[in-house]
């Protein structure tokens, strides 16, 4: 069975600080990896995804993530956060068992202006 | 284009009552998924429809939960009778079937269910 672990439940940063959110997954086969974001009062939306190829993927709003296969990790990064990045972030994987997504527990990010 | 919609946005019921949640997927999306997030836990998969057929219902917690998708359009998720541990946010998602290995899922706003 696949599982996803997000290391930080809550993160508080000041504007312009750099962000890195950790994500590790457990699955023996080929995986597709995702980061979703839920802004206050809004739907879950896709930030970025990795299927294959360049392990450094760029998403919307200046976010990027790096897939490190040997570490089973897919950490999310942003060099300089803004107040508008305040949201909950979810790492998710999809293995070859079907189309279902397996999510991590989420990380609530608060950016202080 | 309208996104995935869910109704109601909030529901408060008493233990033992019945609740029905509805999801309208994006038009033309054959795949429909239900997920649930119990307070403080991760979002968990419940089941997956392809058109009107249940493709995967491995995440359904027990037989108090019944999902339907008659006609392959909207879907309902009924909880009968509801228990306290059913409280949480129920998300619906839909995706096209483009023949790819994975097709992006678009999520609805969720229904927050509180069982008292």
Partner-chain contact A44 B45, CB within 8 Å: no
pLDDT by residue, tens only, chain B of 116 residues: 689 999 999 999 999 999 999 999 999 999 999 999 998 789 999 999 999 999 999 999 999 999 999 888 999 999 999 999 999 999 999 998 766 667 789 999 999 999 99
Strand order in the sheet with B5-7: B5-7, B19-24, B75-79, B65-68
Sign of the Cα torsion A44, A9, A86, B110 reads: positive
Burial status of residue A58 (CB atoms within 10 A of its CB: 0-12, 13-18, 19 or more): exposed
**Torsion angle of alpha carbons A29, B61, B102, A65, nearest 10°?**
-70
Task: Count Cα atoms within 13 angstroms, Cβ side, for B19.
Answer: 24
Q: Measure Cα distances from A84 to A13, A60, B50, B101 in Å.
A: 12, 13, 36, 33
Q: Is A99 on the interface with B (CB under 8 A)?
A: yes
Partner-chain contact A98 B41, CB within 8 Å: no
Q: Is A44 on the interface with B (CB under 8 A)?
A: yes
Smallest CA–CA distance from B59 into chain A, residue: A100
**DSSP letter string over chain A?**
--EEEES-SEEEEETT--EEE-EEEE-SS--EEEEEEE-TTS-EEEEEEE-SS-SEEE-GGG-EEEEEGGGTEEEEEESS--GGG-EEEEEEEE-TT-S--EE---EEEEEE-
pLDDT tens across A62-110, in order? 999 999 999 999 999 999 999 999 999 999 998 766 678 999 999 999 9
């Amino acid at each position: 069975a696949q599982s996803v672990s997000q290391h930080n439940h809550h993160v508080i940063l000041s504007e312009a600080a750099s962000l890195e959110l950790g994500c590790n997954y457990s699955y023996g086969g080929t995986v597709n990896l995702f980061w979703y974001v839920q802004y206050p009062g809004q739907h879950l939306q896709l930030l970025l995804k990795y299927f294959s190829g360049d392990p450094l993927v760029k998403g919307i709003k200046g976010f990027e993530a790096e897939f490190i296969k040997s570490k089973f990790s897919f950490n999310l990064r942003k060099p300089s956060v803004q107040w508008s990045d305040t949201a909950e972030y979810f790492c998710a994987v999809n293995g070859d068992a079907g189309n279902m997504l397996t999510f991590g527990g989420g990380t609530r990010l608060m950016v202080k202006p | 284009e309208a996104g995935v919609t869910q109704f109601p946005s909030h529901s408060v019921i008493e233990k033992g009552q019945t609740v029905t949640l509805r999801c309208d997927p994006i038009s033309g999306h054959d795949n429909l998924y239900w997920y649930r997030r119990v307070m403080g836990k991760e979002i968990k998969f419940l089941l997956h429809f392809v058109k009107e057929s249940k493709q995967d219902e491995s995440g359904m917690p027990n037989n108090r939960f019944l999902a339907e998708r008659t006609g392959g359009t909207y879907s309902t998720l009924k909880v009968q009778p509801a228990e306290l541990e059913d409280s949480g946010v129920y998300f619906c998602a839909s995706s096209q079937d483009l023949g790819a290995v994975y097709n992006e899922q678009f999520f609805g706003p969720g229904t927050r269910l509180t069982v008292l």
